[in-house]
C-alpha cells in the first residue's frame, strides 16, 4: 500500500469540498483570506482520518465529506490565530495571513473558518442526534485547543515545565483534534459509541506521538530536509520533552533560549542531548504512544481503511519532516 | 410595565447560567479572561430576546436558557475580537480584555467563548432537529457578523460609502444577532418555522434601527449623559448614516475624520448637520425600521412577552444612551 497515494485519493475530495463549502463570495477579500491557508494544502491528515474512520466502520467518503472539511477548517483556523499569537510570519512556505492581510483580517478570517466549520456540520444528511453529538465533540475539542494554546503561550514565560504539563499541552493543542476527527468519522459512519470512543483514543494517542516526534525531527533532521537550521527549538528555549528530560538530567545547554547560536554551538548542544539520552527518550515516548494508539484499532474488523489508519500511525514516527 | 424590571427578571437567570455553563476551570487565567466581559454585565438585550421569543410562543425561560447564554457569549466574543481590531482600549467602563491580558489572551478568550456557545447549544434538552437548526442559525449569524466587521474595518479606509453599503454593514454587524436571538427562542419554544421567520425579521429590523439610533445618540446626547464628548463619530470620520446624508447634501464638515476638534468646532459641525436635516433623517430611518419590525409581531397572539418585545423595540429609539 502506498500511504501517500491512499491519502491523496481522499484529499482531492476534501480540496473540492473546501471550494464548494467555503465559496469566495462577498466581501471577497475576507473569503480570499479565509481560503488562503486551506487552499495552500498541508498534509490533510485530519480530514483523511475522518474519512478513513468512516470507511473502517463500513461507511464511505461521501457520507462524511462535510465533516472532513469542517475538521480541516478548524485546523486552519487554529493555525491562523496561533500565527498571530506566536508572531510566526511564515506558514506553508508563504507569508502568514496576518502578514499578507494584517492582524484584524487574520482574526476575522479565522473566526469565519470557525463558524463555517459548524455551519457545514449542520448541513449534513445524517441522523440529527448523531449530528448534534458530532457538533458537541468538535465544540469541546475547540475549547481544549484554546486551553492547549493558552498553556503553550504561558510555558514560554515559565522557568520550568514538568513532563506532565508538557503532555497536557500537547494533548490539548494537537492530539484532541486527531481524536475528534476519528470519532466524528466513526459516529457519522454509523458506529456504536463504544467503537467511536476507541477511535477517539486512537487519534488522541497517535496525535501525542506525532507532536513529540515533531520535536525530535527538529533536532535529528538534516538542514537540507528540514528547510531550516537544526535545533531551532533549543535556541528558542522551547520546553519540549527533550529539553525537559535534559534539564532534569542536569544537562547544561548554554544556548537554550538565547535566540541565536553558531552552528558549532548548536552541534555541541545536540551532542550533549544525545549523550544524556534526551533525544532517544523523547523518541521512545513518541513510539510508545503510537504503539498504544494502534492497539485501540483492535476493536475494528480487518479492512483496507484500518490498514491505512495503522500506516498513518506508523508514519507519525517514520516521516522525515 | 417596567421594561428594565422585566429584562432584569430574566437576565438574573442568564447571569447565573453564564457562571454555571462557563465555569472558571483550568487553565484559570484563560477562563477569567473569557468571563471578564460577560460578568461585567451589559444590557443583556439579546438573551432577553431569546427568552421573550420563547415565552411569546408559549414556552418558558428554562427551556431556552442555554440558548440565551450561548447568544450572549457570542455577543461578548465579538466584542473581545472587535476591540482588538478597532484598538478600543475601554469596554463597559473597564480596560478591554486585550489591554488587561494582552492580545494573544484576548484572541484565545474570544475563541473559547465561541466554542463554548456551540457546546452549550448541543447540551439542550430539546428536539435534535430543532437543535441542529438553531446551531445552523447561530453559525450562519457568526459568519455574517464577521462579514459585517470586515466591511466596517474596510469602510474606514474608503473615501465614500453608500447608504446601501452602510445598511448592509449594520445589518450584518449588529442586526442579525438580534434576528437569530428571536428566531432561536421561538424555534426552541416550539414555534413553526413560519412564525420563527417573522421573529427573525422583527429582531433584524429593530437591530438595524438600534444601530442607526446609536449614531444619532452620539450627536444629540449631552456630554454628561454620554460619558464622552458629543460628536466623537464626526471627529473620527465614521461613515454613519448621518455623515453619508450630509456628504450627499454637500455639507462641508472641516473636522470630519480629523481626529480632534475644539468644542466650538464640534458644536458648529453639529449645527450644520441639524440644518441639513441629516440628524433628523437618520432618526426617521431608525424610527421606520423599528415600526416595520414591530409589525412582524402581528403573527403572535397577545401575551405579556409580546408586549415586552414591543417595548424593547420602542426602547431602541427612546433610550438616552
- CATH of residue B138's domain is 1.10.600.10
Beta-carbon separation of B128 and A123 below 8 A: no
What is the grid cell recorded at B225? 449623559
Q: Is B133 on the interface with A (CB under 8 A)?
A: yes
For residues B266 and B260, give the distance between their C-alpha atoms in angstroms, rounded to a whole number: 9
Q: Say whether the ipTM exceeds 0.90.
A: yes
Contacts of B131 in chain A (CB under 8 A): 128, 132
**Given this model, what pLDDT does residue A280 score?**
97
Closest chain B residue to A28, measured at CA: B147
Q: Is A164 on the interface with B (CB under 8 A)?
A: no
Contacts of B128 in chain A (CB under 8 A): 128-129, 131-132
Q: Please, which contacts does A35-43 make with residues 24 or more away whose CB atoms are closer than 8 Å? A: A36/A94, A36/A97, A36/A100, A36/A109, A37/A76, A37/A79, A37/A80, A37/A91, A37/A92, A37/A97, A38/A72, A38/A73, A38/A76, A38/A113, A40/A91, A40/A92, A40/A94, A41/A92, A42/A72, A42/A75, A42/A76, A42/A92, A43/A7
pLDDT tens across B23-78, in order? 999 999 999 999 999 999 889 999 999 999 999 999 999 999 999 999 999 999 99
Within-domain flag for A242 = yes
- Mutate which of A26, A33, A84, A108 to disrupt the B interface (most B C-beta within 10 Å)? A108
pLDDT score of B223 more than 70: yes
**Given this model, what pLDDT does residue B176 score?**
98
Within-domain flag for B321 = no
Is B248 exposed, middle or buried (CB count within 10 Å of its CB: 0-12, 13-18, 19+)? middle
Closest chain B residue to A141, measured at CA: B115
Q: Is B81 on the interface with A (CB under 8 A)?
A: yes
- Mutate which of A114, A141, A152 to disrupt the B interface (most B C-beta within 10 Å)? A114
Within-domain flag for A91 = yes
Please answer whether residues A222 and A236 qualify as being in contact, where contact means their C-beta atoms are separated by less than 8 angstroms: no
Nearest to B117 by CA among A4, A191, A135: A135
pLDDT tens across B125-156, in order? 999 999 999 999 999 999 999 999 999 999 98
Q: What is the pTM of this model?
A: 0.96
Domain that holds residue B15: 3-316
**Given this model, what pLDDT does residue B269 score?**
95
A27 cis-preceded (ω within 30 degrees of 0): yes
For residues B68 and B18, give the distance between their C-alpha atoms in angstroms, rounded to a whole number: 10
Contacts of B88 in chain A (CB under 8 A): none
Percent of chain B at pLDDT > 90 equals 88
**Given this model, what pLDDT does residue A321 score?**
67
* Cα pseudo-dihedral B142, B143, B148, B149, rounded to 10: 70
d(CA B62, nearest CA chain A) in Å? 20
d(CA A238, nearest CA chain B) in Å? 18
d(CA B32, nearest CA chain A) in Å? 12
Give the total number of structural domains in chain A.
1
Residue with cell 440628524: B279
Within-domain flag for B234 = yes
Q: Provide DSSP, B198-226.
A: HHHHHHHHHHHHHHHHHHHHHHHS-HHHH
Closest chain B residue to A74, measured at CA: B115
Closest chain B residue to A148, measured at CA: B27
Q: Is B107 on the interface with A (CB under 8 A)?
A: yes
Q: Which of B108, B111, B146 has its CB closest to that of A112?
A: B146
Q: Which parts of chain A register pLDDT below 50? A: none
Q: What angle do CA B8, B14, B20 make, to 5 degrees?
A: 145
Within-domain flag for A321 = no
**Given this model, what pLDDT does residue A319 score?**
82
| Number of A–B residue contacts, CB under 8 Å | 130
Give all strands (DSSP E) within chain B, no chain letters.
Answer: 90-91, 94-95
Closest chain A residue to B149, measured at CA: A108
- A125 three-state secondary structure: coil
B75 cis-preceded (ω within 30 degrees of 0): no
Please answer whether residues A111 and A139 qualify as being in contact, where contact means their C-beta atoms are separated by less than 8 angstroms: no
Contacts of B67 in chain A (CB under 8 A): none
- Mutate which of A66, A73, A104 to disrupt the B interface (most B C-beta within 10 Å)? A104
Contacts of B129 in chain A (CB under 8 A): 128
pLDDT band per the 50, 70, 90 thresholds, residue B321: low
Beta-carbon separation of B147 and A26 below 8 A: yes
Beta-carbon separation of B27 and A153 below 8 A: no
Q: Which of B84, B115, B151 has its CB closest to that of A27?
A: B151
Residue with cell 483556523: A77
- B40 three-state secondary structure: coil
Q: What angle do CA B79, B141, A79 make, to 5 degrees?
A: 65
Closest chain B residue to A78, measured at CA: B111
Q: Which of residues 20-79 of A touch B (CB under 8 A)?
A: 26-27, 29-30
Within-domain flag for B12 = yes
pLDDT tens across B148-197, in order? 999 999 998 898 999 999 999 999 999 999 999 999 999 999 999 999 99
Beta-carbon separation of B26 and A147 below 8 A: yes
Within-domain flag for A173 = yes
Q: Could you tell me which residue, A202 or B222, shows the higher pLDDT? A: A202
The whole-number average pLDDT for the span B282-294 is: 98
For residues A29 and A9, give the distance between their C-alpha atoms in angstroms, rounded to a whole number: 31
Closest chain A residue to B108, measured at CA: A146
Please answer whether residues B293 and B310 qualify as being in contact, where contact means their C-beta atoms are separated by less than 8 angstroms: no
Residues 6+ apart with CB under 8 A from A133: A187, B122
> What is the per-residue burial (b if ≥16 Cβ within 10 Å, else e) of B118-139?
bbbbbebebebebbbbbbbbbb
Beta-carbon separation of A114 and B114 below 8 A: yes
Q: Please, which contacts does A226-229 make with residues 24 or more away whose CB atoms are closer than 8 Å? A: A226/A321, A227/A321, A229/A263, A229/A266
Q: Provide DSSP, B299-318.
A: GSPP-HHHHHHHHHHHHHTT
Beta-carbon separation of B139 and A116 below 8 A: yes
The whole-number average pLDDT for the span B10-28 is: 98
**Given this model, what pLDDT does residue A159 score?**
86
**Given this model, what pLDDT does residue A213 score?**
97
Contacts of A85 in chain B (CB under 8 A): 103-104, 107-108
Please answer whether residues B299 and B189 qualify as being in contact, where contact means their C-beta atoms are separated by less than 8 angstroms: no
Amino acid at each position: 500500500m502506498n500511504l501517500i497515494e491512499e491519502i491523496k485519493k481522499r484529499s482531492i475530495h476534501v480540496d473540492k469540498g473546501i471550494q464548494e463549502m467555503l465559496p469566495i463570495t462577498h466581501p471577497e477579500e475576507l473569503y480570499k483570506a479565509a481560503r488562503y491557508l486551506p487552499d495552500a494544502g498541508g498534509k490533510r491528515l485530519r480530514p483523511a482520518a475522518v474519512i478513513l474512520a468512516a470507511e473502517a466502520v463500513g461507511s464511505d467518503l461521501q457520507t462524511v465529506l462535510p465533516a472532513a472539511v469542517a475538521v480541516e477548517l478548524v485546523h486552519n483556523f487554529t493555525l491562523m490565530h496561533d500565527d498571530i499569537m506566536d508572531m510566526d510570519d511564515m506558514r506553508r512556505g508563504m507569508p502568514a495571513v496576518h502578514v499578507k492581510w494584517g492582524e484584524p483580517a487574520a482574526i476575522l478570517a479565522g473566526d469565519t473558518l470557525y463558524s463555517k466549520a459548524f455551519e457545514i456540520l449542520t448541513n449534513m444528511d445524517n441522523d440529527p442526534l448523531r449530528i448534534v453529538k458530532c457538533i458537541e465533540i468538535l465544540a469541546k475539542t475547540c475549547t481544549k485547543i484554546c486551553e492547549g494554546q493558552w498553556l503553550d503561550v504561558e510555558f514560554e514565560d515559565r522557568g520550568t515545565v514538568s513532563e506532565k504539563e508538557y503532555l497536557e499541552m500537547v494533548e490539548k493543542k494537537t492530539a484532541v483534534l486527531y481524536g475528534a476527527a476519528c470519532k466524528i468519522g466513526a459516529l457519522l459512519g454509523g458506529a456504536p459509541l463504544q467503537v467511536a470512543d476507541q477511535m477517539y483514543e486512537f487519534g488522541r494517542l497517535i496525535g501525542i506521538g506525532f507532536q513529540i516526534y515533531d520535536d525530535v525531527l527538529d533536532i535529528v533532521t538534516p538542514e537540507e530536509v528540514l528547510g531550516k537550521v537544526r535545533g531551532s527549538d533549543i535556541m528558542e528555549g522551547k520546553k519540549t520533552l527533550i529539553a525537559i528530560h535534559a534539564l532534569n538530567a542536569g544537562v547544561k545547554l548554554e544556548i537554550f533560549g538565547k535566540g541565536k547560536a553558531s552552528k558549532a554551538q548548536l552541534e555541541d548542544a545536540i551532542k550533549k542531548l544525545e549523550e544524556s539520552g534526551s533525544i532517544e527518550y523523547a523518541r521512545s515516548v513518541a513510539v510508545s504512544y503510537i504503539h498504544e494508539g494502534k492497539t485501540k484499532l483492535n476493536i475494528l474488523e480487518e479492512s483496507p481503511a484500518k490498514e491505512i489508519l495503522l500506516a498513518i500511525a506508523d508514519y507519525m514516527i517514520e516521516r522525515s519532516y
